[in-house]
Amino acid sequence: MQSAREDVFNALFALLKTATPPATLTWGLVGRRLQHWDNVPAADQPCMFLQAGPQNASQPTWGLTTWKLQAHVFIYFRCDGSVSQDYPPDTLVNGFIDAIEAAVAPQVPGDLQTLGGLVTHCYINGEIMFDSGISDDQGVIVIPIEILSGV
Q: What kind and span of H or E run contains 48?
A: strand 47-61
Tens-place pLDDT, residues 42-87: 999 999 999 999 999 988 777 778 889 999 999 999 987 655 566 7
Return the CATH number of the domain spanning residue range 4-149: 3.30.70.1700
Q: State the Cα–Cα distance between residues 60 and 108, nearest whole angstrom.
A: 29
pTM passes above 0.75: yes
Confidence check: pLDDT of 2 > 60: no
64 and 151 in contact (C-beta within 8 Å)? no
Least confident of 3-17, 38-52, 56-70, 95-109: 56-70
Arithmetic mean of pLDDT, 83-97: 80
HSE at residue 76, side-chain half, CA atoms within 13 A, is 22
Domain residue extents for the chain: 4-149
Helix intervals (H) in 17-132: 89-104
